Amino acid sequence: MTISIIIPWMDRGDPVRAAVFEYVRAYYESLSVGEVVVGTYPDDGALLNRSRLRNEGANTAKGDVFFFCDADILVPRDQILMACSQSAYGGVTFPYSLFRTNCDPDTVDQVLRGENWEQFVDLTLPPYLKDQEPLPEEWHVGPAFAISRREFFRLDGFDEGFVGWGEEDKDFLIRARDKIGAVQFVPGGLLHLGQPPSPKDFPGEYANNRVRYLRKRRPVKIAVYAPAKNEESNVVEWAASARDADEIVLVDTGSSDRTIATAAESAVVVRQAVITPWRFDDGFNAALSQVSEDIDIAVPLHLDERLAPGWRGELERAWYNGGNRFTFQYRWADGTSFTHDRIHARHGYRWIFPAHEMPVGPGPQVSTGVVIHHQHSPRDRATDRALIHLMLKEHPDDPRAQYYSGREHFYAGEWIESRSMLNKYLSNPKATFDQERSEACRFIAKMVWEEAKEAWLLRACSEAPQRREVWADLAQHYWETGQMVQAQGCAERALSITEPTDQNSFLLEDWAWNDDHFRSMVVEEMIP
């Protein structure tokens, strides 16, 4: 049996780490148990890739058994030989049963100055590990392990798709256990001359690698679903935007055009249901009921909505972070956008409200980078109004119903009714969403006499001072009424809000984020 000790190494400019690496390499060379191979690759500015470093080392190694060891790990000679002997007959063998995760700087310094490092192994073992023999099989393949050359290449080595820090070692171990058998441990400890990173040190790298690992173990399944009627003109683009879903489900509620045939041509699962009288919550509940039971995430879409590219990866990351409900950016054709949260887990959810429908179910809620675009299409306001009135009738004390009823009266030019309902909403103790409350004040400000407008705009600012839109409104009002000092102050306040401060931003209006517009107000005051 011949042994190759493979050490992955990339110099990242840390002199202490470099000194530790040189010490570790010299130690293993002094053991004379086999060749020492340093796995490296040209510094091309890429992120650290431990998988690639290990694979490069293995590709040049000549031994029958590979002993992989990180550049800051010290293992006693007898444990190395025992691990390699066991792995020569198959499987992965850890040359330890106890592992010290951290090593204080003083200990590192003493070792580098020549003190016998083996004296520190038992002293540095945390109590919670001393009673664990052997370690859990999914724990810390990274520090050191032995595997035969034949079985390493049978596994195709480490997955180089794990870029940066995290999860590549766990992935290798699980694949090894699944394909070549049980994991073994050699009694004893080792010494780690370093401070290992954690997920919080490399949040982006770790999150991406975590998704890759979990996807390989158990891929998440996602469905897009919707009710529809006479949507022949929309269904093709709608289905195309959802093509990365594992399942696309459409419940047709009585189309007289080619919606059903066109949907079927786009690989959409089509079901039919009669919903009389029509209401959106019943429509979405009917569609959700047709989504397969093994789906993890359900994405509800109207037929005039489109998922922006990259949506699936965003949802996968959110799912693996433990979410059940997921926020996304909803963008209208006119540039207005807001945060929505109707994407949800397949099970435990149902829809409520005949209009402005929403799913209800368990948390937690996780934010995502998903973007959904609303395509401009004519709306049947009469139908919307009837459903909103029904919503209010069924839920007379619900602030959501009151808000949308007041808003609908505004759109219809029924200002007396609108003001009455929005004031009722603002008096509702259940109406606690500050951004929605500020929006109600903005609507009222548009319906009152000029002398009362300022008071309502000020109240909008007090309800949600983190919103740029409300300060923009007030600055515009002062500017139009010739109150330039006040306009300047509010414009500067608007400019000080450089990005939405709340991840659940209620409404983002493009005009309010036009810095040039507000700077013109500031400059206006300086003109003689």
pLDDT above 90: percentage of residues in the chain: 58
Give the whole-angstrom CA distance, residue 487 versus residue 489.
Answer: 5
Structure tokens, 238: 């709608």
Residue whose token pair is 């809620």: 365
Residue whose token pair is 């400890």: 189
pTM, two decimal places? 0.67
285-309: average pLDDT = 96
Q: Which of 180, 176, 165 is closest to 141 using CA atoms? A: 176
Type of residue at 224: V
Q: What pLDDT is stored for residue 423 in this prediction? A: 97
Give the chain's end-to-end CA distance (angstroms, integer). 92
Mean pLDDT score of the chain: 87
79-88: average pLDDT = 93
Burial 16-26 (b: 16+ CB within 10 A, else e): ebeebbebbbe
How big is the CA angle at 31 (ends 77 and 131), to the nearest 5 degrees? 20
Helix (H, G, I), strand (E, B) or coil at 45: coil
Q: Which of 351, 355, 422 is closest to 388 using CA atoms? A: 355
Q: Which of 237, 239, 259 is closest to 249 using CA atoms? A: 239
Q: What pLDDT is stored for residue 59 in this prediction? A: 95
Name the band, by pLDDT with cuts 50, 70 and 90, for residue 511: confident
Instruction: Count the Cβ atoms, other than its own, within 10 Å of residue 464.
Output: 22
* CA-to-CA dists, residue 379 to 1, 276, 375, angstroms: 77, 20, 11
405-431: average pLDDT = 95
Residue 411 has, within 13 A of its CA and on its CB side, a CA count of 13
Domains of the chain in start order, with CATH, are 3-216 (3.90.550.10), 220-374 (3.90.550.10), 381-526 (1.25.40.10)
Q: What pLDDT is stored for residue 67 in this prediction? A: 96
Q: At what angle do helices 515-526 and 468-480 cross, to 10 degrees?
A: 40
Give the whole-angstrom CA distance, residue 131 versus residue 226.
Answer: 54
202-213: average pLDDT = 74
Q: What pLDDT is stored for residue 196 in this prediction? A: 59
Q: Long-range contacts for 127-135 (Cβ within 8 Å, ≥24 apart)?
A: 129/98, 129/99, 129/100, 130/98, 132/97, 132/98, 133/97, 133/98, 133/185, 133/187, 134/94, 134/97, 134/185, 135/94, 135/97, 135/98, 135/99, 135/185
The rounded Cα 243 to chain-centroid distance in angstroms is 20
140-146: average pLDDT = 77
Give the whole-angstrom CA distance, residue 132 versus residue 109.
Answer: 29
How big is the CA angle at 318 (ends 313 and 322), to the nearest 5 degrees? 145
Q: What pLDDT is stored for residue 527 in this prediction? A: 45
Give the whole-angstrom CA distance, residue 393 versus residue 125.
Answer: 66
Assess whether pLDDT exceeds 80 at residue 217.
no
Give the whole-angstrom CA distance, residue 127 versus residue 95.
Answer: 20
Q: Which of 235, 299, 226 is closest to 261 using CA atoms? A: 235
Q: What pLDDT is stored for residue 349 in this prediction? A: 95
Name the band, by pLDDT with cuts 50, 70 and 90, for residue 17: confident
Give the whole-angstrom CA distance, residue 256 versus residue 332.
Answer: 28
Reported as a single tens digit per residue, the pLDDT across 381-393 is 666 889 999 999 9
Specify the pairing of strand 183-185 against strand 92-94: parallel
> What is the number of helices (H) and of strands (E) in the chain?
20, 18
Name the band, by pLDDT with cuts 50, 70 and 90, for residue 131: very low
Residue whose token pair is 């050490």: 7
Burial 358-367 (b: 16+ CB within 10 A, else e): bbeeeeeebb
Q: Which of 185, 183, 152, 188 is closest to 77 using CA atoms? A: 188
Assess whether pLDDT exceeds 50 at residue 214.
yes
Name the band, by pLDDT with cuts 50, 70 and 90, for residue 109: confident
DSSP E strand boundaries for 64-212: 65-69, 73-74, 92-94, 144-148, 183-185, 191-192
Instruction: Count the Cβ atoms, other than its own, within 10 Å of residue 139.
Output: 16
Give the whole-angstrom CA distance, residue 209 versus residue 142.
Answer: 15
Residue 481 per-residue DSSP state: T
Give the whole-angstrom CA distance, residue 356 versus residue 124.
Answer: 60
Backbone angles phi, psi at 505, to 5 degrees: -60, 125
